[in-house]
Every structure is written in C-alpha cells, then in structure tokens.
Amino acid sequence: MATPYVTDETGGKYIASTQRPDGTWRKQRRVKEGYVPQEEVPVYENKYVKFFKSKPELPPGLSPEATAPVTTSRPEGGEPGLSKTAKRNLKRKEKRRQQQEKGEAEALSRTLDKVSLGETAQLPSAPQGSRAASTAASEQPDSAVTTEKAKKIKNLRKKLRQVEELQQRIQAGEISQPSREQLEKLARRRVLEEELEDLELGL
C-alpha cells in the first residue's frame, strides 16, 4: 500500500494522518525530501541473486531457433528422444529380465518335474489322462504367481543370510550379549528354512 502524502503551500511533504483500527487518529508527520517509507524500500538483493536473475536462459551464442523442438521420426526400436546409450541400456535391461524369467520358468519346471515324478511313484493306480491333465495345468502357472513366489524366495534367502551372519558374529565374539530380537531371529531359522523348501518345491 502506497503511503499517502500531503504537500502544503510551502512545498513541505507530510504523511497524511490516518485512522487506527480502534478509531483514534495518528498525527501528520513531516518528511524530508527523498524519504522512502519502510514498506516501499526495495528488498536487498546481493550480486549473486542479481546475476542469476539477469542470466539468460540459453547459453551464450545459442539462438532460440536452435532450441525449438525438432520433430523427428520415431526410431524403430526405442523410446522417442533417447540417446544411443540409453537405448542400449533399455535393451540390456529387457534382455536381463527375459533371461531371469526364463531361468525362473526352468527352475519351476524342474521342481514340477520332481513333484510330478514323486506323485507318479506314490500313486501308480492314477489314470494316465488325469495325470497328464494335472501336469499340463501345473506347467502353465500364472506369471503373477511365479513372480510373487520368486519375491518370497528372495526375501526368505535374505532373511536366512542375515540369520547366518548374526550367528557367525555371535560365534566370533563380536556380539557378546545378543538382544532379545536377535535371539528371536536365530530361533526362527528352522521355520524360514522349511518355508523356503516348501516354496522351492512349489507346494
């Protein structure tokens, strides 16, 4: 809000009297020539702030036309606007993911073969048609279930690795008095191993 000034006939400047919220009036105040009220004083900016405000957005020598987006045809095997290295990395990731899925599928089929062989040995009287149907149904598991199992297996292996590391640290004498949580972790080892075996067998 600008400060209201009053100029009298002698040429002196005054800040006009104003009313307070409670109804009383402030007196007029005489001000010298060149006076700037506090609310109108510009905020101080150091030289770095001024430099960055005045700094052009483009590097020196680069014309704005050169920065205009160029519409190029989309490359055959990649996302738009990716460099060669980024495309190569995307291909590698995709290849790694496919190999991992293939490895998981092979491991699952091996465990299924073991389970199906175990079932045929236990149940020789089962009819051939029903056995073939059950193995065909189990050989095509849902990919979401497979990835979920893989995550659980990975998590269980991580927990077992932590338990083994903790046990080694206790045996080496690094931890003289294990806490209650550490003891509970050690006690859960057998349960984790059984759970991991069940998952790996596909039960």
pLDDT digits (tens, 9 = 90+) for 14-46: 888 889 999 999 888 888 877 877 888 888 889
Cα 195 from Cα 203, distance rounded (Å): 10
Residue pair 15/31 in contact by the 8 Å Cβ criterion: yes
Domain boundaries, the chain: 1-55, 144-201
pTM beyond 0.85: the answer is no
Map tokens 């292996």 to a residue.
Answer: 157
Cα 141 from Cα 199, distance rounded (Å): 14
